[in-house]
Structure 1
Amino acid sequence: FYVLVLLIMLLSAISSGFRTAFIPPGALVAIVTMFPRGVPDFFHGTNVFFYTVGMTWSLSNELFFYLLLPALFLAKSHTRSLGRGTAMLIVGVLAWRFGVFMGLNWMFLRSLFIGVLCYEICHARAFAWLRPVLAGPVGTLLIGIVLLIIVRDYDSAFYSRAELLYGAMFLIVACGNTGFGLLTHRATRKLGEISYGVYLLQGFALFTVFHHAHRTPATPLHHWVLAIPAVLGLIAVSAATFRWIERPCIDRSRAVAASITRLITVFTPHRLRQSS
């Protein structure tokens, strides 16, 4: 993300002809909170938003969700129902205020909680019979049917019904369906590893090629002549950023996670620690 920020600042400075080195006062806050209110206009650059194509919207939502989990865990650890209800109420109010401050779209958070619900269903004893059914050919067939419905009836994922259909596909995959091995293929797993980089850098790569190199393609053939090399280059760059940036940070994060776990344990009641 911060590599992307530096690239955006560099190109927006070039776009403005280095006329000014002014950075908006709220840019630092926007960077730390991962652009929940949009991409700031670095150096008075033009079309700065298109360098990300709005793809950073999910990052602040994910950050909020991950920060909320320890608070929910501590609230749930109260033994008395009254204390638990009070703690959950406090967490809810604080989460709402923090969400308002970060400008989060609560509609997007629904998708995160749908994912949590899918996980709980897949691991619940009451639905143990469902997992082998969805993991087999029946689940693959259902994915195909759901995709056909989405393509036929919806032109956006922002419809609530479409969101539920995507959740149904996620449930099937979470229960172990691999699409006849497609999702566990070595090439697919490699693409999965670098998908975060592809997700963040796609706007920067495609916008740079189409806007700064050749502007708007005149024909579909012209479009694909530009798009295919751009996508291949995007995959190569994402593989490099994963190898030299993401992977080392992931490895180092384990020590940080262990420290956070020890800190949470200090504030966790002894009864809950024993049950864990």
Structure 2
Amino acid sequence: MPYPEVLVLLGVLSVATGCAHGLARWRPPPPPAPFAAIDGLRGYLALMVFVHHGAVWWGYLPTGQWQQPPSRLMNNLGEGSVALFFMITALLFGHKLLQARGQPIDWLRLLVSRVLRLTPLYLVAMACLFTLVAVVSGGRLQSPLPQVLLDALRWLLFAIPGVPDLNGVTATYVMVAGVVWSLTYEWAFYAALPWLAMALGQRVGARWLLASALLLATIGLLAAWQHLLQLRYLVPFMAGLAVCGLVRWPCFVQRARGRVATLLLLGLLATGFLARPWVYSPVPMLALAGAFALLAAGNDLFGLLRSRAARTLGEMSYGLYLLHGLLLYTLMRVMTDARGWSAGAFALAQLALVPVLVGLCFAAHRLVERPAMQRVDAATGRLRSPRRRQADLSSPRLR
């Protein structure tokens, strides 16, 4: 029996939406947002990456080779969703910079917010990863302790210096489904924001430009050293910045929300995910960029992306993206050996993980992510000099 990829995709999205609908009553109504449809999109993108990695696992179990699935759809669900994530990052921060014209940007607060947004849950994921390594290695030290500590440090640095095997456990990166690679590009984009702001006509202090250049150089050198630096992954960021300018045209925004535009949006998404074996070909990338432009302009797929369920999934999208690999590994290798399963049994097991994943990420958002983000102002205030703190009280600044 072949892997039922379409049924798995539809099943995962449906079950997750149902779970989020039930959980939505435990969260306050979402506040107004300039890109509400994009907020609803993020959770579904993370779930499509989960579906993609299920297909990767289906090929990995009998062969031991972690590689792209042969199916065009299953392959592009991963690459295409991450490309759209990159576009979202560029759109949101490009929008902030454009809105800030003529206002000072609080770079320290922006840096603190990014650290508190990405780091706490990442540390939770790393704690889970280290625990899995200890379980798989039988709780015994299989490599010299200094090497284990050095390798663990490389993982803790968002794996920018690479993803080494930990304590002799081969292919440690499989435990997280290899998702950490994309965070290198996220951090590089954040590091480049002062230079991007200057390119948009914003005045930026020399110290922030220097810090930005040093951080970019460090990330670039470490990524190049590990052969992780791929310039093609910068294309979605540029597309997101272009869309950021496009959605400022009222005529485009008005037309993007009509029914004809929705049909065009569905066609562009189908083209982006199915037209070529690889989304970084010109045609699918242009199609995804076009679809993203319509979504950013407010097309919400007949209201689906503005629903409370979609917005709830969107809030936990980072957790869905970061933690699903750990669950897949726990099921496939720790709790049971899935190598003898039929395609139907494998698909049902992946569907059974969805409520667990959604519930876990909902709890992680409420207990880890949201409290961390609520401390941004307090953490920023502690890092300021007393003189600068007093000046901020009398001067409005972009946050």
TM-score, with length taken from structure 2: 0.57
For the pair 1:211 / 2:211, whether they are aligned, the reply is no
State whether residues 192 and 213 of structure 2, in contact with CA within 8 Å, keep that contact through their aligned partners in structure 1: no
Equivalent of residue 225 in structure 1, options 343, 348, 354: 348
Match of 1:195 in 2: 317
Relative to structure 1, the CA distance from residue 64 to residue 150 in structure 2 (aligned partners, 3 Å threshold; closer, same or farther) is closer
Q: What CA distance in whole angstroms lies between the structure 1 residues aligned with 2:282 and 2:178? A: 20
Equivalent residue letter for 1:56: V
- 1:3-14 mapped onto 2 (5 Å cutoff): 3-14=124-135
Instruction: State the Cα deviation string for residues 64-120 of structure 1 (Å, max 9, x = none).
Output: 2112112433574469xxxx9xx99x8997576334223133222221221121111
Q: What CA distance in whole angstroms lies between the structure 1 residues aligned with 2:355 and 2:315? A: 16
Greater CA drift, 153-162 or 92-101: 92-101
State whether residues 256 and 297 of structure 2, in contact with CA within 8 Å, keep that contact through their aligned partners in structure 1: yes
Relative to structure 1, the CA distance from residue 78 to residue 10 in structure 2 (aligned partners, 3 Å threshold; closer, same or farther) is closer
- 1:136-215 mapped onto 2 (5 Å cutoff): 136-212=258-334, 213-215=336-338
- 1:101-112 mapped onto 2 (5 Å cutoff): 101-103=221-223, 104-112=229-237
Q: What CA distance in whole angstroms lies between the structure 2 residues aligned with 1:109 and 1:3? A: 28
Structure 1 residue 9 displacement after superposition: 0.9
Greater CA drift, 240-249 or 157-166: 157-166
Runs of 4+ more than 6 Å apart: 90-93
Greater CA drift, 215-224 or 57-66: 215-224
Instruction: State the Cα deviation string for residues 20-69 of structure 1 (Å, max 9, x = none).
Output: 1731525414422x113542222222331111112112212111211211
For the pair 1:245 / 2:372, whether they are aligned, the reply is no
Relative to structure 1, the CA distance from residue 56 to residue 18 in structure 2 (aligned partners, 3 Å threshold; closer, same or farther) is same
- Extract unaligned runs of 5+ from structure 2: 1-121, 224-228, 389-394
Instruction: State the Cα deviation string for residues 108-155 of structure 1 (Å, max 9, x = none).
Output: 2221221121111101xxx32111111221221111111232344223
Match of 1:57 in 2: 181
Instruction: State the Cα deviation string for residues 173-210 of structure 1 (Å, max 9, x = none).
Output: 00011111000011111111111101001111112212
Relative to structure 1, the CA distance from residue 256 to residue 165 in structure 2 (aligned partners, 3 Å threshold; closer, same or farther) is farther
TM-score, with length taken from structure 1: 0.80
Equivalent of residue 100 in structure 1, options 220, 224, 229: 220
Match of 1:269 in 2: none
Q: What CA distance in whole angstroms lies between the structure 1 residues aligned with 2:269 and 2:340? A: 30
Give identity over the alignment, percent. Answer: 27
Q: What CA distance in whole angstroms lies between the structure 1 residues aligned with 2:258 and 2:363? A: 35
State whether residues 210 and 217 of structure 1, in contact with CA within 8 Å, keep that contact through their aligned partners in structure 2: no
Relative to structure 1, the CA distance from residue 105 to residue 31 in structure 2 (aligned partners, 3 Å threshold; closer, same or farther) is farther
Match of 1:39 in 2: 163
Work out which structure has the larger RCO, using CA pairs closer than 8 Å and 6 or more positions apart in sequence.
2
